[in-house]
Amino acid sequence: MIPRPYRQLAEGLKCGGDRQQRMQAVVNALWDALHDTGVSWVGFYLPGGPDELVLGPLRDTPACSPIGLHGVCGRAFTQRRPQVVHDVRELGEEYVACDPRDSSEVVVPLFEAAGACWGVLDLDSHEVGAFSAEDVAGLVEVLRVAGLTV
| CA 13 to the chain's CA centroid | 17
Domains of the chain by residue range: 6-145
6-145, what's its fold?
Beta-Lactamase (3.30.450)
Pairing of strands 52-59, 39-49: antiparallel
Its pTM surpasses 0.75: yes
Q: What angle do CA 44, 50, 56 make, to 5 degrees?
A: 15
Q: What angle do CA 32, 20, 120 make, to 5 degrees?
A: 75
In order of 47, 59, 121, 140, 150, the CA distances from 109 in angstroms are 12, 18, 6, 9, 10
pLDDT in tens, 104-129: 999 999 999 999 999 999 999 999 99
pLDDT in tens, 37-64: 889 999 999 999 889 999 999 998 888 8
pLDDT of residue 94: 72
